């Protein structure tokens, strides 16, 4: 008996090239992986205007590091985006869910970057309150 990983279950050779990135966001593990990547990329280079007060920046860094650690803990212990396939690897998957085949579903993952930037506001608000 095979237990395919979520990527195998939602990809197919008939999937259009535009929708080939959708399996990254389709299952819960892939979505969490994308969220942790987006949060990490947004925090790699914060805007210089946010680095004016070193003490406030330190508090905000602790908050944003906590958010990143939360996502990484979920990836390691709750969701398994890189699940090992037991047995034989299927030749072709089931394909993308028909509910996810709208054009809006292709453009919505880049919008996560804007949502991840909200973490700045929350982190600096929490840093300023301490």
Q: Which of 43-57, 72-86, 94-108, 115-129 has the lowest mean pLDDT?
A: 94-108
pLDDT in tens, 21-38: 655 556 667 777 777 888
Closest CA to 130 of 69, 53, 44: 53
**Structure token digits, residue 56:** 């406030």
**Distance of alpha carbon 113 from the chain centroid:** 10
**Structure token digits, residue 66:** 């906590």
Kindly state the percentage of the chain with pLDDT values over 90. Answer: 2
Let me know: does 23 contact 30? Beta carbons within 8 Å: yes
- The answer for residues whose C-beta is within 8 angstroms of residue 34's C-beta and 6 or more apart is 24, 25, 109, 112
Quick one: pLDDT at residue 9? 63
Residue 60 CB: number of other CB atoms within 10 A?
Answer: 25
**pLDDT confidence tier of residue 101, bands split at 50, 70 and 90:** confident
Does residue 75 carry a pLDDT above 70? yes
Does residue 109 carry a pLDDT above 80? no
Does residue 49 carry a pLDDT above 50? yes
Does residue 14 carry a pLDDT above 70? yes
pLDDT, the chain, mean: 75
The sign of the CA dihedral 92, 97, 101, 105 is: negative
């Amino acid at each position: 008996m095979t237990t395919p990983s979520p990527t195998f279950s939602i990809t197919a050779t008939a999937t259009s090239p535009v929708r080939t990135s959708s399996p990254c966001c389709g299952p819960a593990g892939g979505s969490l992986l994308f969220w942790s990547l987006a949060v990490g990329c947004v925090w790699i280079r914060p805007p210089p205007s946010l680095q004016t007060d070193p003490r406030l920046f330190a508090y905000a860094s602790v908050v944003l590091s906590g958010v990143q650690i939360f996502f990484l803990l979920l990836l390691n212990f709750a969701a398994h985006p890189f699940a090992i396939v037991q047995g034989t690897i299927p030749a072709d998957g089931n394909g993308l869910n028909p509910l996810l085949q709208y054009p809006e579903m292709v453009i919505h993952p880049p919008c996560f970057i804007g949502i991840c930037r909200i973490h700045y506001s929350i982190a600096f608000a929490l840093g300023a309150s301490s």
